[in-house]
Structure 1
Amino acid sequence: MDATIEDPRLSTSVEVVFAKQHMPDLRGQVTLRAMAVSVVLGIVFCFVGMRIQLTTGLVPALNMPASVLCFFLLKSLVRLLQKGGFAVLPFTRQENMFLLTCVITCLNLAITGGFATALTGMTSTVAKTLADDPDPRDIVDNVPTGKWILFFFLIGMAGVLSNVPFNQVMIIDYKLLFPTGTVVGQLVNSFHTPEGAYVAKMQVMTIFKAFFGSFSWSIFQWFYTSGNGCGFQSFPSFGLGLYKRRFYFDFSATYIGLGMICPHIVNFGLLFGAIVSWGFLYPFLESKRGQWYETDSPSSLSGLNGYKVFISVALIVTDGLINFITLVTSAAINFYQIRQERDSSELTNYINKLHPSLNYDDRKRIEVFLANRIPVSGPVAGYIACAAISTVAIPAMFSQIKFYHVAMLYMAIPVVGFCNTYATGLTDWSVTPTYAKFVIFVLAAWIGRPGAVVASLLASGITMASLHVSSQAMQDLKSGYMTLTLPRAMVTGQLFGVALSSVVGPCIFLAFQNSTKPGAPVGSKQSNYPCPYAALYRAIGIIGMGGVKELPKYCIELCVISVCVTVAIDTAVLISQKRGWSIHSYIPSMTVIALPFFTGPFFAIDMCVGALLLLLWRRMEAGSAQLLSSSVAAGMICGEGLFTLPSVLLNMFKVLPPMCMKFLPGGQEVEVVDSFLNNSGASRA
């Protein structure tokens, strides 16, 4: 292409502001100090992200808080070194972007590798929530941490390497927007101007204030949790009757913070789903015990649990498939149109034809990007080597999955990853969970014998992590393009983030396992970390294998109704969007509505409280709410999330909370408890 760039003085642009700054080379962008800070922030955000996923299964975008903290901490480190008399390189937006890429990649691999979904779904804890006597060949417990480290390193590397050959096509040739990547790039650019630095400092101070308040509140709550069902998390806010239906406010700073970050339609969609399921549908089904089903077992799929699992699966899978078909269709049409335009001319004419008013910023960014592009042969060879090692290593670690299963996955990942990444570039929405569920069903049906559930869940973990890391890596490359960060620096940051996450992620998950209450391990319904999606993923594997022999009466009919309702609502949303009606903005996703069907309403209530607080804040002071609300939410989430670490240490040293706060109904039960306490006190005296 024509690399000639017009005089920057003739245009008002972002790059004009940075025109006088020295452009750092690769060694000036990939620095040891940035790697050191990324280790600290990677651990913090993995803790926070994994805790959210283990409890709710719904992780919001944490890119903005990560961007602010990356800028502040690295800039503070540079100033500290300068005051100490050290000769240091200046802090640039390119180094900032490299650091942020390390942290975001680390977080993405940790939350998509399957700790809260497929991998927990393989355990006996989750298996017993779906069957009273699960087949031991479809259970994997107590996997050594070293195996998880190798597993995550291989699938994370596959995600990064499969993405690199397409970066020029996605970013330069087809000019895909990648909305999150564009916004993050603009944010990093703004931080390195005087006005942006002031705003970032204010946001960081807000994060730390909210963090201190949330962390202090978590300490206070801990004192009242000496026993099962104790503490503020068991506070019957709406009475004991509704508490039994899981309708209560549990005073969680994490969920309130999530409510401030997530769109209002998500928060109130969760509450709507909770009311429909736990308020109306499940009480109705409970009244049919003895008519539609006989068992009282809370885990058997032939009882009430069967309705909960299969209706949830029907809603989520149908919604995912509809969105998948919609995104792939629109992406294919867009891809074909752009390809036709590109084939009609050389690259220069192509870009000028589509963008006749190409400005200084775009030309400068394209020039830097193309001058430092990565040869395709390197990542292709790396991906082939990674696939070969995985084909041998993963079946050696888990005997249920065979080498040809892994080989098939690694052949499909680049093709499917391209489609998924292209759709993400258009819509900012990755449909990797849909791919993962599809793989579970297909592989379980392919194997069709004991061991198929574990094999399909492992394949789901490989698919989910590889495709999500791939699509998000392209988002990061778009941010790097916006900040003139070299593609080689960005890919180096992604590889370092994968290596960091493969070590940090399993260790943090082990910490969560060690911090659970006795008798309530990760994945159980009574646990602090119930992993709501784990049972759903395992149920899809059971369905695929044909392992469900008996379902409660009318279960299939209710699932068919759920599918029809989902299709009707999604169709209405698509028609509304196509015709420009505003009604679609008031209709929540069916996946959002379905999530409380299995987990309960408590976290939806907390998130709605967060949404209401944000609405009130915006009404009172719209400017500060827009500027600082995400910082407050991030501080609240991080404060409660990081209290997990001291709670693990207290548990290791057998330091127990001194009190138990529990609530009982009035009447005879209170008299019995009082009598017991008085007698126990008298006997000790």
Structure 2
Amino acid sequence: MRVPPWREQVTVRALVVSLGLSVMLSVIVMKLDLTTGVIPSLNVASSLLGFFFIKVWTKALEHAGVLRVPFTRQENTVIQTCVVSAYGIAFSGGFGNYLLGMSSKIAGQATEANDSQNIKDPKLGWMIAFMFVVSFVGLFSLVPLRKIMIIDYKLIYPSGTATAYLINGFHTPQGENLAKKQVKTLGKLFLFSFLWGLFQWFYKSGDGCGFEAFPTFGLKAYENKFNFDFSASYVGVGMICPHIVNASLLIGAILSWGIMWPLINNQKGNWFSADLSSDSLHGLEGYRVNPCCYYSVSIILGDGLYNFFKVMTKTVPAFVSDSQKLRLSTLPVLHEVHMAKQPIVSYDDDRRTEVFLKDQIPKWVAIGGYGMASLVSIITLPRIFPPLKWHFILAAYAVAPVLAFCNAYGCGLTDWSLPTFYGKFAIFIFGAWAGANHGGVLAGLASCGVMLSIVSTASDLMQDFKTGHLNTFFSETYAFDDIRVPGRQYPAPSAILHRNIAILGVHAFAIDMFIGTVILFVWQKMDRAKTAAFGPAVASGLMCGELVMEYGVYLKQCLHCSTSSHQYA
């Protein structure tokens, strides 16, 4: 079939639907970020919802006799890419972690480095400027390697691959019928989740009350943060995340909060002073920092660096060889397509590769774009964060492509993007470089934002390149253009984590997500085909319904109380 040019792919209706879905899924991501810090891939959900809304749009125009352009798989991919880009900023923007970690409210909960030079309260103006400056750099960091990672190394990127097959399936006669059933299932679970959340709201009179505070496993377990809070949205998240992730979360929560920390806390007065506050890094919190951060960052970074240097030893000579051959070639595009055809096994793969490489960004544009975006950051960011000196930013941008590759490579194999770990790595390096007496905490958190944004954006872009490759689509490159009060509903555990480099907050979500994975596992055993077809729709419905209900409740509170307006802003 003819592949439409990009002007027929990036349509007004696609952008309008993308805007609406971006708002809805960004709310979901913010809720997850402020409560658990765990964000699943919502690529499939955005593809399904985008298909549904555009089909409603086109059916209405078709009945009116004014439909001119049919809905294509490439247009569906545009919607998915735009939505992922938007909610990706909601996560990498740090609104639930490092930006909150800069605030005076978070600093007041720490016992160290809480002076004025280490604090910057969030304001809309500088936050928008910061996001605008750092969010474009990641787009250029891995563009020169997209052929190697997608075509040559054939990295899987499971979410990108699943999204592509889902979109391809929608745009066939059989697939459209299945999509209608999926949307119907999503609607049922959306309604159930909404009504269940509303039912729970009637039994909640304040914090620590209602179903979310029910001592499911007994009072002692509840004191140690173990209970099932009857959240449909987290059950849905558990149905999207891989089984190994959900099981690891539960096992880790039991080992740490159920066994390790209580045993270490019993050594208060022996291993550390009994007079220290609960947030002091010289007490129990220091034991949480080491295993949670130093070890995990070291392991992930070491594995990523190994793969980076392994790839570089093969790709740098290839780049040099290609450049020399291209000077002698009169048809460089055809030459590069020919070079990409290594083990082509079908006409479909041949066609995908040809279209994927047809209008790629030249390497000099990618490198130049990265340099220009870096220069803008080097000039701008020290004005926003005075402790973050220009040479800190230069050093960060020098190593960022390496870390971005490490994360994108791991995501291509496992489907798990871990930008926050690389952000913590930046905190250690640049925070220590600046020093606590010279605003090192603020410099570390700001550098975390720079690194997290680059690493996260690069990985998301590569994931979408995979979807685009399988959909014979080549213009996705242009699509990326009451908080933290302990005991409250939105504890923002990652905020104090990014200030103290430690993990805090409730662990009920681990139980919820494990229940989701159990439901999915049993369903797969009973009917694997039906689970594959309707699992994402069920999960999306569970996630969206409860969140819409809660969002409505908080909007009502904001409209009726000026205090709540400030609290939830």
Fold match, TM over 0.5? yes
**Alpha carbons of 1:308 and 1:630: their partners in 2 closer, same or farther (altered >3 Å)?**
farther
Matched, 1:146 2:108: no
The answer as to whether partners of 1:242 and 1:248 remain within 8 angstroms in 2 is: yes
Match of 1:284 in 2: 263
Contact 2:164 2:468 in 1 (8 A): yes
Q: Does 1:64 align with 2:52?
A: no
One-letter identity of the residue aligned with 2:298? L
Q: How does 1:222-261 map to 2 (within 5 A)?
A: 222-261=201-240
Look up the equivalent residue of 1:67 and give its one-letter code: S
**Segment of structure 1 superposing worse, 281-290 or 72-81:** 281-290
User: In the alignment, which residue of structure 2 is the partner of 1:533?
Assistant: 494
Structure-2-length-normalised TM-score = 0.88
Alpha-carbon separation, structure 2, partners of 1:402 and 1:628: 51
Is 1:407 matched up with 2:387?
no
3-state DSSP of counterpart to 2:229: coil
> Structure 1 residues 443, 331: closer, same or farther in 2, change over 3 A?
closer
Q: What's the counterpart of residue 458 of structure 1?
A: 446
Partner of 1:640: 546
Deviation digits for residues 393-436 of structure 1, max 9, x if unmatched? 22222223223322332343345434543454455444433321
Which residue does the alignment assign to 1:319?
Answer: 296
Match of 1:491 in 2: 477
Mapped pair 1:433 → 2:420:
yes
The change in CA–CA distance for 1:395 and 1:287 in structure 2 (over 3 A counts) is: same
* SS of structure 2 residue aligned to 1:599: coil
User: Any idea what the Cα deviations from partners look like across 1:287-335, whole Å, max 9, x if unmatched?
Assistant: 3344442226333334xxx324532442333123213222332353355
Q: Is the 8 A contact 1:112 1:461 kept in 2?
A: yes
How far off its partner does 1:216 sit? Answer: 1.5
Cα distance in 1 for partners of 2:165, 2:526 equals 28
CA distance in 1, matches of 2:382, 2:188: 48
Q: For residues 120 and 188 of structure 1, what CA distance do their matches in structure 2 show?
A: 37
Corresponding position of 1:477:
465
- CA distance, structure 2, for counterparts of residue 638 and residue 617 of structure 1: 21
Q: Which amino acid in structure 1 is aligned with residue 352 of structure 2? A: R
Residue 156 in structure 1 maps to residue 156 in structure 2: no
1:223-622 counterparts in 2 under 5 A? 223-292=202-271, 293-295=273-275, 297-302=277-282, 306-334=283-311, 336-337=313-314, 343=321, 350-352=339-341, 354-355=342-343, 357-448=344-435, 449-487=437-475, 490-495=476-481, 516=482, 522-540=483-501, 598-622=504-528
Q: Which amino acid aligns with 1:231?
A: G
Amino acid at match of 1:278: W
- In the superposition, relative to structure 1, how do residues 331 and 178 fare at CA in structure 2: closer, same or farther (>3 Å)? farther
Distance 2:157 2:182 in 1: 25
For the 8 Å contact 2:387–2:439, the answer to whether it is kept is yes
Kept in 1, the 8 Å contact 2:423–2:452? The answer is: yes
CA 1:279–1:181: 2 relative to 1, 3 Å:
closer
Q: Contact (CA 8 Å) 1:78, 1:88: kept in 2 or not?
A: no
Shift of 1:235: 1.3
3-state secondary structure, aligned to 2:537: helix
Does the 8 Å CA contact 1:174/1:338 hold for their aligned counterparts? Answer: no
**Secondary structure of 2:504 counterpart:** helix
Question: Is contact 2:182–2:534 with CA below 8 Å preserved after alignment?
Answer: yes
SS class of match (1:643): helix
Aligned residue in 1 for 2:104:
124
Alignment match, 2:14: 34
**Alpha-carbon distance in structure 2 between the residues aligned to 1:481 and 1:24:** 14
CA–CA distance in structure 2, aligned partners of residues 600 and 121 of structure 1 = 18
Query: Which one-letter code corresponds to 2:212 in the other structure?
Result: Q
Residue identity in the other structure for 1:464: L
- 2:387 is paired with a residue whose SS is coil
Is it true that 1:185 corresponds to 2:173 in the alignment? Answer: no
Separation (CA, whole Å) in 2 of partners of 1:429 and 1:197: 30
Amino acid at match of 2:559: F
CA distance in 1, matches of 2:381, 2:22: 26
Q: Is the partner of 2:25 in helix, strand or coil?
A: helix
Amino acid at match of 2:294: V
* Partners of 1:320 and 1:431 within 8 A in 2: no
Superposition TM-score, scaled by structure 1 size: 0.74
530-539 vs 287-296, greater mean Cα deviation? 287-296
Aligned-residue RMSD, C-alpha: 2.8
> Whole-Å Cα distance in 1 between the matches of residues 195 and 411 of structure 2?
39
Q: Distance in 2 between matches of 1:395 and 1:136?
A: 16
For 1:641 and 1:309, the matched residues in 2 are separated by 35
Change (3 A) 1:364 1:536: same
**Is the CA contact 2:304–2:405 (under 8 Å) kept in the aligned structure 1?**
no
Change (3 A) 1:330 1:382: closer
CA apart distance, 1:380: 4.2
Task: Give the letter aligned to residue 300 of structure 2.
Answer: N
Aligned to 2:532: 626
Residues 124-148 of structure 1: CA distance to partner in whole angstroms, max 9, x if unpaired?
332233317832321222x221221
**CA shift for structure 1 position 614:** 2.8
1:325-369 Cα offsets, whole Å, 9 max, x none, are 2233235335545667885997577545x41x4421122122223
Contact 2:44 2:162 survives alignment (8 Å): no
**Structure 1 SS opposite 2:421:** helix
Residue 94 of structure 1 deviates from its aligned partner by: 1.1
Contact 2:11 2:75 in 1 (8 A): yes
Q: Deviation per CA, 1:561-613: give whole Å up to 9, x if none.
A: xxxxxxxxxxxxxxxxxxxxxxxxxxxxxxxxxx9x63343222222222333
Write the letter of the residue equivalent to 1:480.
G
Aligned match of 2:181: 202
Q: In the superposition, relative to structure 1, how do residues 412 and 251 fare at CA in structure 2: closer, same or farther (>3 Å)? A: same
Question: How far is the alpha carbon of 1:469 from its aligned partner?
Answer: 0.6
Q: What does residue 211 of structure 1 align with?
A: 190
CA gap of 1:411–1:175, structure 2 versus 1, over 3 A, is same
> What per-residue deviation string (whole Å, max 9, x for no partner) do you get for residues 476-516 of structure 1?
122112212133xx122121xxxxxxxxxxxxxxxxxxxx3
The amino acid of 2:302's aligned partner reads: I
Task: In structure 1, list runs of 5 or more residues that go unmatched.
Answer: 1-18, 496-515, 517-521, 541-594, 657-685
Q: Any gaps of 5 or more consecutive residues in structure 2?
A: 326-334, 563-569
Aligned counterparts of 2:155 and 2:512: Cα–Cα separation in 1: 37
Output the CA distance in 2 between the equivalents of 1:29 and 1:465.
Answer: 27
The alpha-carbon deviation at position 459 of structure 1 amounts to 0.7
Could you say which residue in structure 1 is the equivalent of 2:330? none
- Taking every aligned residue pair, what percent have the same amino acid on both sides? 37
Quick check: 1:182–1:478 contact (8 Å CA) kept in 2? yes
Distance 2:174 2:74 in 1: 18
CA contact (8 A) 2:229 2:512 kept: yes
Distance 2:182 2:289 in 1: 39
Moved more, 41-50 or 104-113: 104-113
Structure 1 residues 126-135 or 200-209, which shifts more?
126-135
* Structure number, greater radius of gyration: 1
Q: For 2:94, which of 101, 109, 114 is the aligned residue?
A: 114
